[in-house]
């Protein structure tokens, strides 16, 4: 919980100080209101005991002090003087002796002002606490989001997406919803309780000692219950994350679910997650529901003991009935705030779970630290790339990120599937952690690429082509060896300055729920409309966009659902071309295009290849026939490297793959 308050005090010191000041004022005015109410009731009881013939009446007591003073304010001062020094009976007698309607009206207005002021202060206190809690919650949300953007790509491969989303939404919402109560009960409750205890000690220290014992017993019981609440709250949060993860998986694989007719299977799995969440929810609410009855029972026992002991003191003549009445009235008035104080432990338990889960993200190592990047800026980059004895092992990379997150094992990667629903499904979806190791994706590869040189990457699936370009883009770091840009280790530079020289179109096309113009302009926000159209023309998408009713202002929906696969890929290609970086990497960027569109895009790429260092991964050999050199990868090693003509003469894997595809296309009539 220290983390939450450090967030508050770091940038909101003045505002927090204002909140604390208002809380203190609200506590004092609330206690003042309680004392005034108690005295009013005592005065009402005292009226029946007042006699005008009493030789010791209040008028005679103050006669010497009052003299000829008859001002209304002097009378009010006399009333307070009598109430404080002689008690309510004396003050009440004095008011009756005056027989002044104006005095009664002024006293009524004074009491009304006191009560109204208290409520205004409390209202202001609630508004300020609400604003402070919202500011802290929003700051925490922003902190999580900012940190997620700074985490290495490997973090998102290991973490379940639903768990990450749950932390950003539900865990943050738990903090937002409970923070007001925590500040209210954690600040206002203690301040009012301490002020109240001071007043109760002033009224009678012996009865106050009994309250101390009562509070200690309550806190011990509540803290004991809170230990169980923390465990259940943790399981409930994990269950909510599992539900989110499952829903996201279903959305991502809906086509496979339908084609394999697994709707019933997915419903059963989802019901299993819901049942587990319901079980934890019931446990959580039963435990939190126990707190109030415990407080009520212990508090009632304390009040009974105080009344019994107070009665004994009255019999002994050590306490008046008015004193006991005032003590009980003030006590009952502040008891709800004692209960708030005891609830702080419960709030702390619930919030601690969410804060701990959020800190798992906040305390994770940033991408720049995980990649061991330097502080130099990559300026005047020519586009030269060199790999020296580079190896990459996903198992080691995943284990490294797991260690940074405080999970996982050094030598293994961890994969988790959904929890079991029934005993017959355990073998398929049991909640077991499967540990595995695998050979390196890239194994001790070395090569040099000159500025503006184009390189085609060829190889069977899993040979390391995508991993190679991901290493260049700094999505991960080599487990062995080093990468050099312009003869200097890439790790000497800042990650941002390196990526400013890199554009990429990956196998998966990522578009935003925005207009076509905004999606293309994302590659370079400062680009003009003319430059956007030129990039689209090179990507062979300009004619299509121009044919739309809203043209470049057409919104394409989430992930570009209103476009075909080929159209989405060409917009992504236009975005990469607009950036005009020194390195362009195309990871099967034309896979969704038909032959005619692919041919036109190839022509655009051929023009670009002359001014950018280009890496092209292609499923069709026709895409890479005109590159400067072709790199053939097999099981993580470079087995061939040269031009198309050279590799065809050499034979080997390249010619074998080329002939297989050529024969397939001939058979298909392509």
pLDDT tens-digit map of 558-567: 777 778 777 8
Distance in angstroms (rounded) separating the CA atoms of residues 513 and 558: 4
Whether 514 maps to a domain, the answer reads: yes
Instruction: Provide the number of structural domains found in the chain.
Output: 3
CATH of the domain at 513: 3.40.50.300
Q: 269 and 155 in one domain?
A: yes
pLDDT confidence of residue 370: 65
Residue 381 φ/ψ, nearest 5 degrees: -70, 135
The token duo for 666 is: 């001939």
Q: 609 and 536 in one domain?
A: yes
pLDDT-derived band at 584, boundaries 50, 70, 90: very high
Q: 512 and 400 in one domain?
A: no
pLDDT-derived band at 55, boundaries 50, 70, 90: very low
**Which tops the pLDDT comparison, 272 or 178?**
272
Contact 472, 385 (CB under 8 A): yes
**Span 89-114, mean pLDDT?**
68
pLDDT-derived band at 336, boundaries 50, 70, 90: confident
Q: At what angle do helices 263-315 and 321-362 cross, to 10 degrees?
A: 150
Distance in angstroms (rounded) separating the CA atoms of residues 141 and 658: 52
Lowest mean pLDDT among 63-67, 434-438, 579-583: 63-67
The string of pLDDT tens digits covering residues 125-150 is 788 877 877 787 788 888 888 888 88
pLDDT-derived band at 637, boundaries 50, 70, 90: very high
The b/e string for 8-42 (b: 16+ C-beta within 10 A; e otherwise) is beeebeeebeebeebbbbbbebbbbbbbebbbeeb
Q: 181 and 287 in one domain?
A: yes
pLDDT-derived band at 100, boundaries 50, 70, 90: low
pLDDT confidence of residue 609: 78
Residue 651 φ/ψ, nearest 5 degrees: 80, -140
The string of pLDDT tens digits covering residues 257-271 is 776 677 888 888 888
Q: 202 and 86 in one domain?
A: yes
Whether 389 maps to a domain, the answer reads: no
Whether 627 maps to a domain, the answer reads: yes
Per-range mean pLDDT, top range of 170-179, 415-424, 449-458 = 449-458
Q: 656 and 550 in one domain?
A: yes
Lowest mean pLDDT among 428-432, 545-549, 551-555: 428-432
pLDDT confidence of residue 592: 61
The string of pLDDT tens digits covering residues 355-373 is 877 877 777 777 766 677 8
Distance in angstroms (rounded) separating the CA atoms of residues 60 and 670: 120
CA distances from 202 to 197, 299, 500, 651 (A): 8, 21, 71, 101
Bridge partners of 136, per DSSP, are: none
**Which tops the pLDDT comparison, 71 or 8?**
71
Lowest mean pLDDT among 57-66, 140-149, 314-323, 612-621: 57-66
The string of pLDDT tens digits covering residues 409-430 is 433 333 333 333 333 333 333 3
pLDDT confidence of residue 362: 78
pLDDT confidence of residue 505: 87
Q: β-strands 583-587, 433-436: how paired?
A: unpaired
Please give the DSSP secondary-structure letter assigned to residue 622. Answer: G
Whether 172 maps to a domain, the answer reads: yes
Whether 379 maps to a domain, the answer reads: no
Residues with Cβ within 8 Å of 474's Cβ and at least 6 positions away in sequence, in order, are 371, 373, 490, 495, 498, 499
Would the pLDDT of 31 be above 70? no
Would the pLDDT of 448 be above 90? yes
The token duo for 29 is: 């005015």
Whether 374 maps to a domain, the answer reads: no
Whether 492 maps to a domain, the answer reads: yes
Would the pLDDT of 57 be above 70? no
**Span 330-349, mean pLDDT?**
72
Would the pLDDT of 670 be above 60? no
**Span 569-588, mean pLDDT?**
88
pLDDT confidence of residue 529: 92
Distance in angstroms (rounded) separating the CA atoms of residues 181 and 343: 9
Contact 46, 89 (CB under 8 A): yes
CA distances from 456 to 3, 100, 632, 638 (A): 50, 104, 8, 12
Contact 141, 168 (CB under 8 A): yes
pLDDT-derived band at 553, boundaries 50, 70, 90: very high
- For 424, the domain range is 394-438
Secondary structure of residue 122 in the 3-state scheme? helix
**Which tops the pLDDT comparison, 42 or 285?**
285
Give the residue from 362, 381, 412 where a domain finishes. 362
Distance in angstroms (rounded) separating the CA atoms of residues 246 and 266: 9
Q: At what angle do helices 101-150 and 72-85 cross, to 10 degrees?
A: 70
**Which tops the pLDDT comparison, 221 or 53?**
221
The string of pLDDT tens digits covering residues 454-496 is 999 998 888 889 899 999 998 888 989 999 999 999 999 988 8
Sheet containing strand 480-485, strands side by side:
442-449, 385-392, 480-485, 488-489
Q: 495 and 424 in one domain?
A: no
Give the residue from 382, 416, 438 where a domain finishes. 438
Distance in angstroms (rounded) separating the CA atoms of residues 599 and 606: 11
pLDDT confidence of residue 449: 94
pLDDT-derived band at 199, boundaries 50, 70, 90: confident
pLDDT confidence of residue 132: 79
Q: 158 and 70 in one domain?
A: yes
pLDDT-derived band at 521, boundaries 50, 70, 90: very high
Contact 553, 517 (CB under 8 A): yes
Q: Reduce the secondary structure of 20-83 to three states and give it as a string.
A: HHHHHHHHHHHHHHHHHHHHHHHHHHHHCCCCCCCCCCHHHHCHHHHCCCCCHHHHHHHHHHHH
Lowest mean pLDDT among 286-300, 431-445, 468-482: 431-445
Q: 584 and 560 in one domain?
A: yes
Q: 635 and 522 in one domain?
A: yes
**Span 336-355, mean pLDDT?**
72
Distance in angstroms (rounded) separating the CA atoms of residues 175 and 178: 5
Distance in angstroms (rounded) separating the CA atoms of residues 96 and 99: 5
Q: 487 and 614 in one domain?
A: yes
Contact 175, 351 (CB under 8 A): yes
pLDDT confidence of residue 409: 40
* Mean pLDDT rounded to a whole number for the chain: 76
Contact 221, 229 (CB under 8 A): no
The token duo for 361 is: 């993200």
Whether 375 maps to a domain, the answer reads: no
Helix (H) or strand (E) holding 489: strand 488-489
**Which tops the pLDDT comparison, 176 or 217?**
217
Lowest mean pLDDT among 59-73, 101-115, 648-662: 59-73
Q: At what angle do helices 13-47 and 88-98 cross, to 10 degrees?
A: 70
Contact 470, 476 (CB under 8 A): yes
Distance in angstroms (rounded) separating the CA atoms of residues 602 and 624: 9
Secondary structure of residue 412 in the 3-state scheme? strand
pLDDT confidence of residue 422: 36
Residue matched to tokens 């009960």: 185
* CA nearest to 351, candidates 189, 175, 130: 175
pLDDT-derived band at 67, boundaries 50, 70, 90: very low
The string of pLDDT tens digits covering residues 376-407 is 899 899 999 999 999 998 776 666 655 655 54
CATH of the domain at 31: 1.20.1560.10
Would the pLDDT of 307 be above 50? yes
Residues with Cβ within 8 Å of 414's Cβ and at least 6 positions away in sequence, in order, are 158, 398, 402, 407, 408, 433, 434, 435
Distance in angstroms (rounded) separating the CA atoms of residues 421 and 392: 37
Helical spans, DSSP H, in 384-528: 394-405, 426-429, 465-472, 495-499, 516-521
pLDDT confidence of residue 62: 43
Q: 474 and 426 in one domain?
A: no
* CA nearest to 580, candidates 552, 602, 612: 612
Q: Reduce the secondary structure of 519-534 to three states and give it as a string.
A: HHHCCCCCCCHHHHHH
Q: Could you tell me the pTM of the whole model?
A: 0.65
């Amino acid at each position: 919980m220290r983390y939450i308050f450090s967030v508050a005090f770091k940038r909101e010191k003045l505002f927090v100080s204002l909140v604390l000041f208002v809380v203190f004022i609200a506590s004092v005015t609330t206690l003042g209101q309680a004392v005034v109410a108690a005295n009013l009731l005592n005065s009402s009881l005292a009226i029946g005991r007042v006699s005008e013939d009493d030789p010791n009446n209040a008028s005679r007591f103050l006669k010497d002090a009052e003299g000829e003073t008859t001002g209304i304010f002097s009378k009010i001062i006399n009333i307070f003087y009598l109430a404080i020094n002689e008690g309510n009976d004396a003050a009440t007698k004095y008011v009756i002796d005056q027989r002044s309607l104006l005095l009664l009206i002024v006293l009524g207005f004074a009491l009304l002002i006191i009560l109204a002021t208290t409520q205004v202060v409390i209202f202001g206190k609630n508004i300020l606490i609400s604003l402070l809690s919202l500011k802290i919650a929003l700051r925490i949300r922003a902190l999580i989001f900012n940190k997620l953007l700074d985490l290495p790509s490997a973090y998102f491969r290991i973490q379940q997406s639903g768990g990450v989303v749950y932390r950003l939404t539900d865990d943050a919402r738990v903090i937002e919803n409970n923070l007001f109560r925590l500040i209210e009960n954690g600040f206002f409750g203690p301040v009012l309780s301490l002020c109240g205890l001071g007043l109760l000690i002033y009224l009678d220290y012996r009865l106050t000692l009994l309250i101390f014992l009562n509070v200690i017993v309550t806190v011990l019981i509540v803290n004991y219950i809170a230990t169980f609440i923390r465990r259940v709250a943790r399981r409930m949060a994990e269950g909510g994350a599992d539900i989110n993860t499952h829903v996201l998986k279903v959305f991502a694989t809906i086509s496979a679910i339908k084609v394999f007719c697994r709707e019933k299977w997915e419903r059963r799995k989802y019901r299993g997650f819901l049942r587990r969440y319901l079980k934890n929810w019931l446990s959580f609410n039963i435990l939190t529901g126990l707190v109030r009855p415990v407080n009520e029972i212990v508090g009632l026992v304390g009040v009974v003991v105080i009344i019994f002991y107070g009665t004994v003191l009255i019999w002994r003549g050590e306490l008046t009935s008015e004193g006991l009445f005032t003590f009980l009235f003030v006590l009952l008035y502040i008891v709800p705030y004692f209960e708030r104080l005891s609830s702080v432990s419960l709030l702390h338990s619930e919030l601690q779970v969410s804060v701990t889960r959020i800190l798992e993200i906040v305390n994770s190592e940033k991408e720049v630290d995980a990649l061991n990047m330097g502080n130099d800026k990559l300026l005047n980059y020519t586009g030269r790339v060199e790999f020296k004895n580079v190896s990459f092992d996903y198992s080691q990379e995943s284990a490294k990120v797991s260690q940074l997150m405080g999970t996982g094992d050094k030598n293994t990667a961890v994969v988790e599937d959904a929890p079991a629903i029934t005993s017959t499904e355990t073998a398929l979806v049991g909640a077991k952690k499967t540990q595995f190791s695998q050979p390196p994706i890239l194994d001790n590869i070395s090569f040099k690429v000159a500025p503006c040189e184009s390189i085609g990457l060829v190889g069977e699936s899993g040979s390391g082509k995508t991993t190679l370009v991901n290493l260049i883009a700094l999505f991960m770091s080599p487990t062995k060896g080093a990468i050099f840009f312009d003869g200097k280790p890439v790790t000497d530079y800042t990650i941002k300055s390196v990526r400013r020289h890199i554009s990429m179109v990956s196998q998966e096309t990522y578009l935003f729920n925005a207009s076509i113009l905004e999606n293309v302009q994302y590659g370079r926000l400062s680009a003009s409309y003319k430059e956007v159209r030129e990039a689209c023309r090179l990507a062979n998408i300009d004619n299509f966009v121009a044919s739309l009713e809203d043209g470049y202002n057409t919104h394409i929906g989430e992930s570009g659902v209103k476009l075909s696969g080929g159209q989405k890929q060409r917009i992504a290609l236009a975005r990469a071309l607009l950036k005009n970086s020194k390195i362009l990497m195309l990871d099967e960027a034309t896979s969704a295009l038909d032959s005619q569109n692919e041919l036109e895009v190839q022509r655009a790429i051929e023009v670009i290849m002359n001014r950018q260092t280009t890496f092209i991964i292609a499923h069709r050999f026709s895409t890479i026939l005109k590159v400067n050199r072709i790199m053939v990868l097999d099981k993580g090693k470079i087995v061939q490297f040269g031009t198309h003509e050279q590799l065809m003469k050499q034979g080997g894997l390249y010619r074998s793959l080329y002939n297989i595809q050529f024969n397939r296309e001939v058979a298909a009539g392509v």
